[in-house]
Homo-oligomer: A and B are copies of this chain.
Amino acid sequence: MERIVQCVPNFSEGRDAGKIEKIVECFRGVDGVKLLDYSRDEDHNRCVVTTVGEPEALRNAVINAVGKATELIDMTKHEGQHPRMGATDVIPFIPIKGVTMEECVELANTTAEEIFNRYKVPSFLYEKAATATHRQNLAKVRKGQFEGMPEKIKDAEWAPDFGTEVHKTAGIIGVGARMPLVAFNVILDTANLEMANKIAKNVRHLSGGLRYCKAIGIDMEDRGVTQVSMNMTDFTKTPLYRAFELIKIEAKRFGVNVIGSEVIGLLPMEAMISTAEYYLGVEDFSMNQILERRIME
């Protein structure tokens, strides 16, 4: 695969394994598409699928999966802890290799359009694909959830980007484009959650810290320590080492030390490689020097 896009569609079904299999099946054995992972949560009543592929092939697979979800999931009967607005709840496209963010935005547009044409399920475009600033943030887009959508979209500010009415059983979908998220947690040698939260506050974008970093303090009760739990929303601009070193600096004022870190789930190799590059002070390094990158070309 010369050009690789990742897509992590979320479907509002976490309990009926049979239905989930039928949806996931749309990503299996498809030329140019690879199913990397899928996991369901019964409490959230939600299933998260991680898949990669060539842009065209991936779009087709996603559209087919949306068809299955529309057929199988009835949102009028859906209950779960996770906020949701549709049978297919969100479809983020993520550039991985040989693909620009602009192309992912285009992919979000053509996907949402074809979904509406085929199934009459409407969409909001969100994050980098959003058509207005107030529609970038997914939490704001989804606010009101499935039940509140018919009312919400009456407001011109919240007219869907594709379609004009909420689908009766499948609701409405958020189709977006974004950078890969890296879940990166830095562990502190204190059990004091208040300190962890203060450090988190100092490094996160929201309160004066790093541009592409979301952070909160979290208790690690079993170990008697805490951590700064982060979502790195664009590691190409705010690399992991910068958050790590800044946490060390901020922790110092409390006499707190960093004792380790965790990376949760998948991440692109570049997130780790750019960090090694920093610490070794490598001059003129290129990702083309990575053997596996060349093999994948």
Q: Which residues of A contact B (CB under 8 A)?
A: 1, 4, 6, 34, 36-37, 52, 96-97, 180, 187, 240-241, 244, 258-263, 265-269, 272-273, 275-277, 279-285, 289-296
Contacts and interface: CB of A to CB of B under 8 A. Distances in A.
Contacts of A285: 263
20 contacts: A4-B295, A34-B295, A36-B294, A36-B295, A97-B292, A180-B291, A240-B280, A244-B280, A260-B281, A261-B281, A263-B285, A266-B289, A266-B291, A267-B291, A268-B290, A268-B292, A269-B273, A269-B292, A273-B273, A275-B279
User: Could you say which of A244, A262, A276, A296 has the most chain B C-beta atoms within 10 Å of its C-beta?
Assistant: A276
Nearest to A180: B291
Nearest to A1: B295
Nearest to A274: B276
Contacts of A97: 292
Copies of the protein in its oligomer: 2
Contacts of A272: 269, 272-273, 276-277, 290
A197 B48 CA distance: 55
Given A273-B273, A285-B263, A268 B291 contact: yes
Contacts of A268: 290-292
A284 B187 CA distance: 13
Nearest to A290: B269
Contact of A279 (B241, B291, B293): B241
A275 B266 contact: no
Nearest to A187: B283
Contacts of A259: 281
Given A289-B266, A289-B267, A261 B241 contact: no
A284 to B, nearest CB: 7
A289 B263 contact: yes
Nearest to A286: B263
A44 to B, nearest CB: 22
Nearest to A6: B291
A295 B295 contact: no
A275 B280 contact: yes
A31 B6 CA distance: 26
A262 B283 CA distance: 5
Nearest to A266: B291
Given A267-B289, A273-B273, A282 B294 contact: no
Given A267-B290, A276-B275, A52 B295 contact: yes
Given A4-B295, A187-B283, A244-B280, 20 more contacts: A6-B291, A36-B291, A36-B294, A36-B295, A96-B291, A97-B292, A240-B276, A260-B283, A261-B280, A261-B281, A261-B282, A263-B289, A267-B289, A269-B290, A272-B272, A273-B276, A279-B279, A292-B292, A292-B296, A295-B296
